[in-house]
Structure 1
Amino acid sequence: MTRIDAWTWAVRLYKSRSVASAAVKAGHVRVNDERAKPATSVHVGDVVRIRAEGYEKVFEVVQLLDKRVGAPLARAAYVDHSPPPPPKDEFFGAFGVRDRGAGRPTKRDRREMDDLRGRR
């Protein structure tokens, strides 16, 4: 039996235990399609869903870990069932990309970009 915050940290899904715990508290982690608390137990065969970077990552627990281990051992502790991330141009295309070498945006350019982003 292992806590979800400790397991996600041990298999290197988060950089620190406190970041893992904060993500679980914020509702970004689900275990078997149920919202998890930091002390939620994880068992072999459970499906862990993590919402990060604008899309969802899906992992199946293969091995329980309490302590942080090296990257090759960490990757062996889960099976990644995540769909491929969306293409960058699809993800960032709506934000108005400037041409390379166009220089610093003018005040007018900045206002147009803010209008595109819905900030004004």
Structure 2
Amino acid sequence: MRIDKYLWCIRLFKTRSIATTACKKGQVKVNNSAVKPSKEVFGDEIVVIRKNQINYQIKVLDLPTSRLGAKLVDLYRKDITPKEEFEKTDLLKYSKDYYRKKGTGRPTKKDRRDIDNYQEDTEEDL
């Protein structure tokens, strides 16, 4: 089975064309090598998918004949993604909210001056 079709069948991507695009961009790796969408996938292979800034690691258990219901997905794949990958996402979320609240717009002149003063202070400390 093609890798793009497999990823679509196990519901990692909403459409097959999105799965194909992810393969073309190099976001899908099979056994640590980037693959084209037409790459055949077999059982007991490790597939790494970069999606939403998380590297999902999936072990292929079996190949489905068609797209599956959400309850049956675990029969055909095993998620071996380390917990650290999900913790990185939480840290990223906190780092984005650190400086500015969402929806407050561009930085003001005062914000820019504060940034410049901070940079000058850190350069003096070195």
TM over 0.5: yes
5+ residue gaps in structure 1?
116-120
Q: Highest Rg: 1 or 2?
A: 2
Task: Kindly report which structure 2 residues correspond to 1:1-120, keeping only aligned pairs within 5 A, or say none.
Answer: 2-84=1-83, 85-86=86-87, 89-95=90-96, 96=98, 104=104, 108=108
TM-score, normalised by the number of residues in structure 2? 0.74
5+ residue gaps in structure 2?
116-126
**How far is the alpha carbon of 1:67 from its aligned partner?**
1.4
Q: Which amino acid aligns with 2:7?
A: T
State the secondary structure of the residue aligned to 1:42: coil
- Structure with more strand by fraction: 1
User: Residues of 2 paired with 1:81 and 1:70: CA distance?
Assistant: 20
Aligned residues: 109
Deviation string 1:47-87 (CA, Å, 9 cap, x unpaired) is 00001111211000001024111011122210000012025
Identity %: 30
Q: Structure 1 residue runs of 4+, over 3 Å off?
A: 103-107, 109-112
User: Residues of 1 paired with 2:90 and 2:29: CA distance?
Assistant: 28
TM-score, normalised by the number of residues in structure 1? 0.77
Task: State the Cα RMSD in Å.
Answer: 2.5
Contact kept, 8 Å, 1:4 with 1:40, in 2: the verdict is yes
**How far is the alpha carbon of 1:92 from its aligned partner?**
2.1
Contact kept, 8 Å, 2:5 with 2:16, in 1: the verdict is yes
State the secondary structure of the residue aligned to 2:87: coil
RCO greater where, 1 or 2, for CA within 8 Å and sep 6 or more? 1
